[in-house]
Amino acid sequence: MIRAAIVGATGIVGQQFLVALKGHPWIEVKALAASERSAGKSYRQAITDQSSGAFRWFCDEPPVEEVMDMPVVNASELSTDGIDVVFSAIDSGPAKLLEPKFAAEVPVVSTASAFRYEDDVPILIPGVNPDHARLLEIQRRRRGWKGFVTPDPNCTTIGLAITLKPLLDSFGLNSVIMTSMQAMSGAGRSPGVIGLDILDNVIPFIPGEEEKVQHETQKILGTIEGDGIRPAPFTVSCTCTRVCVLEGHTESVFASTQKPCDVDSIVKAMREHDGGLAGAGLPSAPKNLILVNEDPFRPQPRLDRNNDGGMATTVGRVRKDEAMDNGIKYVLVSHNTKMGAARGAILTAEMLINDGYISG
């Protein structure tokens, strides 16, 4: 069994790591770390508010009893002895300081954006760009680390990159225009999205989000060249909005392809896209990376976010677009805190275990 530490274990993403690793066949949770405030407590105490008695468990799934009595250590004092991989579920600021410390010793799979834009750091999506894992060796060598940092993509990027991949492979891409309708959980809880701001409303701006999506999509779909990645040569332009939805990002995509394409061939390419996942036997992999639903009223975030355990990206409304050359348009739903966060990071770890980058 691979022995994992969860850093940021008391937050919402940390809890989702715990849920997703409960009963995992390859990985077991060996250490929990959080902020100084939680250090020295049992996990149960750490998520129980002392004054009110409130129990701060944020997942739909029941609390993971197996970890309730485990001690929580201060993240800045976590030892990596006896740990094979660190799952980092902390904000970008502390990630910048802590992740290199852990990576000096062991692999770190992170949901934070802190290292996503560095040249020797891949943004891996199993089934999309497994070859980018080669950068991890360059990273190790260049930085003199025994481990490495491999961050997952932003939760809005991941569904877009997954659905563009078969289009890029089959038809080539000139440009992509996307409008997102993002769920509240993407903003976390500190304080996240205030109810007074979002009820009966849409907020048309999420600071930094559009730049992340544009940059990451080109990097993920780029090609390894020498010691780095050449970004994919198509343009990505987007407007990211917040809507009154709990979980599940919806994206309205318009794309211009290089070769002519029709709806049927697009749907076929999406449905058949596998990217090497099918044979690999990764425990968290969805049966289909992309599900295409032909009901014109789908995908809907409430109905489709949990498809295949929240790991499938669901596509619908595939149509021709007349505004761009070889234009097509579609709508996708992707679970932002499952495939787009903890479970996605675990899937990445599984691929890296399979490929020998992480070992016990």
CA distances from 329 to 255, 256, 318 (A): 6, 9, 6
In sequence order, the β-bridge partners of residue 182 are 242
Residue 217: CB minimum distance to its own copies, A: 12
The residues near 228 (Cβ < 8 Å, ≥ 6 apart) are: 119, 120, 135, 138
**Does 303 help bind its own copies (rule: CB under 8 A)?**
yes
CA distances from 287 to 131, 156, 173, 247, 265 (A): 21, 21, 26, 21, 21
- Out of 155, 238, 240, 261, the active site residue is 155
CA dihedral 150, 232, 333, 319 (to 10 degrees): -170
Under rule CB under 8 A, how many of the chain's residues touch its own copies? Answer: 62
**Does 267 help bind its own copies (rule: CB under 8 A)?**
no
Q: Which is nearer to its own copies, 251 or 350 (CB)?
A: 251
Quick check: is 238 catalytic? no
**Does 264 help bind its own copies (rule: CB under 8 A)?**
no
Residue pointed to by tokens 């996240």? 192
Quick check: is 155 catalytic? yes
**Does 205 help bind its own copies (rule: CB under 8 A)?**
yes
Residue 224: CB minimum distance to its own copies, A: 24
**Does 235 help bind its own copies (rule: CB under 8 A)?**
yes
**Does 260 help bind its own copies (rule: CB under 8 A)?**
no
**Does 221 help bind its own copies (rule: CB under 8 A)?**
no
User: In this structure, are residues 231 and 219 in contact, taking their beta carbons and an 8 Å threshold?
Assistant: yes
**Does 197 help bind its own copies (rule: CB under 8 A)?**
yes
Residues in the chain: 360
Single out the residue of 82, 144, 191, 260 in contact with its own copies (rule: CB under 8 A). 191
Single out the residue of 68, 104, 203, 224 in contact with its own copies (rule: CB under 8 A). 203
Please name which of 181, 160, 124 lies closest in space to residue 270, comparing C-alpha atoms: 160
Residue 62: CB minimum distance to its own copies, A: 9
**Does 157 help bind its own copies (rule: CB under 8 A)?**
no
Please name which of 11, 1, 16, 63 lies closest in space to residue 311, comparing C-alpha atoms: 16
Residue 114: CB minimum distance to its own copies, A: 19
Residue 340: CB minimum distance to its own copies, A: 15
In sequence order, the β-bridge partners of residue 334 are 249
**Does 82 help bind its own copies (rule: CB under 8 A)?**
no
**Does 126 help bind its own copies (rule: CB under 8 A)?**
no
CA distance 355 to 288: 21
Query: Of 41-60, which residues contact its own copies (CB under 8 A)?
Result: 52-55, 58, 60
- Out of 132, 240, 249, 261, the active site residue is 249
CA dihedral 208, 129, 163, 265 (to 10 degrees): 150
Output phi, psi for 141, to 5 deg: -65, -50
Exposure string for 193-214, b = 16+ CB within 10 A, e = fewer? beeeebeeeebeebeebbebbb
Single out the residue of 23, 25, 77, 196 in contact with its own copies (rule: CB under 8 A). 196
Contact pattern for its own copies over residues 164 through 183, marking x by CB under 8 A: -----------xxx-x-x--
342-354 vs 12-21: helix axis angle to the nearest 10?
Answer: 50
Output phi, psi for 242, to 5 deg: -110, 130
**Does 301 help bind its own copies (rule: CB under 8 A)?**
yes
The residues assigned a catalytic role are 155, 249
**Residues engaged in binding its own copies (CB under 8 A):** 52-55, 58, 60, 175-177, 179, 181, 184-185, 189, 191-205, 207, 235-237, 239, 241, 243-246, 250, 252, 254, 256, 294-303, 316-317, 321-324, 327, 329, 331
